[in-house]
Amino acid sequence: MKTPGMLFDRLSAAASQQWTLYTGHAFVEQMADGTLPEAAFRHYLVQDYLFLVHFARAYALAIYKGTSLQDMRAAHGGLKAILDVEMDLHVSLCAQWGLTPEALESTPEARATLAYTRFVLETGLRGDLLDLHVALAPCVIGYAEIAAGLAARPGALDENNPYRVWIGEYAGRDYQDVAAAARQTLDDLAARSLTENRFPHIVKIFRQATRLEADFWQMGLTLAD
């Protein structure tokens, strides 16, 4: 019997401990009140650029993994959004922090970047489209949830908070729509291929991806390489 909708809510509930550590990480909390060290944010921005490069590859893999033209077109839309919109926005944000395209391209990947991006790609290579999108979900949907929560806090979007642009971008309608579409994609894929017997398997993927996302915040906070 197929599972009901709202798969993302089921996954985040099943991984509540990992989800709380990720969404409530000190890096996030310090962005909200503007106390995050600027060096930590710059380090994060560079690694997030490298991260996005591999996420584009993950959406390209989703095109290959699609079992219908609809699947392939949806994945192509995600790929175009990263390459044509999100990457340009990210480079623009980096420029505001004194980070040139040359600096972004020449910086080695940190271990936390390697760990999460390769986990996503490996999960997609060995599994199906649902496995891949579950591995992507903590980032795609998590950033929307985190930013929306931060934006609701008093002072988070004030002019004196240097992280207001990041918060506003991910809390904005355009990105919230991206996250909503990702939720719907999970439900559509689950309706086709998820059984209750398979659910523990995708919970395992989601938990690991969420742990790796928390590690990514920690990498930024500690300037780890």
Tokens of 91: 């480079």
Q: What are phi and psi of 88, to 5 degrees?
A: -65, -40
Tell me the two tokens of residue 114: 């390697």
By the 8 A CB rule, do 118 and 190 touch? no
Listed in order, strand segments (DSSP E) in 48-186 are none
Q: C-alpha angle with apex 61: 175 to 200, nearest 5 degrees?
A: 80
* Cα–Cα distance for residue pair 87/103, rounded to 1 Å: 15
The answer to whether 178 and 144 are in contact (CB under 8 A) is yes
- Residues assigned a catalytic role: 139, 213
Dihedral sign from CA coordinates of 150, 151, 154, 159: positive
What is the three-class DSSP state of 195? strand
| Separation CA 193–CA 105 (nearest Å) | 39
